[in-house]
């Protein structure tokens, strides 16, 4: 999907929520099954083998799954306490990542989420984790 223009396809840049570490601007788009989030990968995301570095994929997943948690927790502050990542396929610089996620369980102080990152119709990363929610006392 090199050269893909997310804005031309209806994705909105999330200027108020930049990705950590200068990874770029995340994109959001509402689908019938809920929100999805995207990121255009760049040459500086590449590892020595020529693929997008796994740390970039993990950072994207961590940031975006936190958005699902934030909504499920009534926009309360939260932090990741566990993130499990399964790399399924290599990603090339220039590919557009699309993460679709879901909350699988939420309690007063914990939220469990999972998601898939895809490039087009190819799943490249499966991820799940647990977030701690901070509620006012």
Domains and CATH numbers, the chain: 7-133 (3.10.129.10)
- Label the pairing between strands 12-13 and 27-31: antiparallel
pLDDT of residue 135: 84
pLDDT by position in tens, the chain (length 137): 457 899 999 999 987 656 777 888 899 999 999 999 999 999 999 999 999 999 999 999 999 999 999 999 999 999 999 999 999 999 999 999 999 999 999 998 999 999 999 999 999 999 999 999 998 77
Question: Which pLDDT score, from 0 to 100, does residue 23 have?
Answer: 87
Per-residue model confidence (pLDDT) at position 17: 59
Q: Are 28 and 14 in contact (CB under 8 A)?
A: yes
* Residue 133: other Cβ atoms inside 10 A: 19
Residue spans of beta strands (DSSP E) within 4-109: 12-13, 27-31, 34-40, 78-87, 96-106
pLDDT at position 18:
62
pLDDT for 34: 93
pTM above 0.75, yes or no: yes
């Amino acid at each position: 999907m090199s050269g893909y223009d997310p804005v031309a396809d209806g994705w909105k840049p999330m200027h108020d929520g930049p990705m950590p570490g200068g990874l770029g601007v995340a994109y959001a788009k509402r689908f019938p099954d809920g929100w999805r989030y995207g990121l255009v990968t760049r040459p500086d995301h590449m590892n020595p083998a020529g693929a997008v570095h796994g740390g970039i994929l993990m950072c994207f997943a961590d940031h975006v799954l936190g958005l699902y948690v934030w909504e499920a927790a009534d926009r309360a502050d939260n932090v990741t306490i566990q993130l499990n990542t399964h790399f399924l396929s290599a990603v090339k610089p220039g590919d557009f990542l699309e993460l679709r996620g879901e909350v699988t369980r939420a309690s007063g102080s914990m939220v469990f989420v999972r998601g898939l990152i895809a490039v087009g119709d190819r799943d490249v990363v499966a991820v799940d984790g647990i977030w701690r929610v901070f509620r006012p006392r």
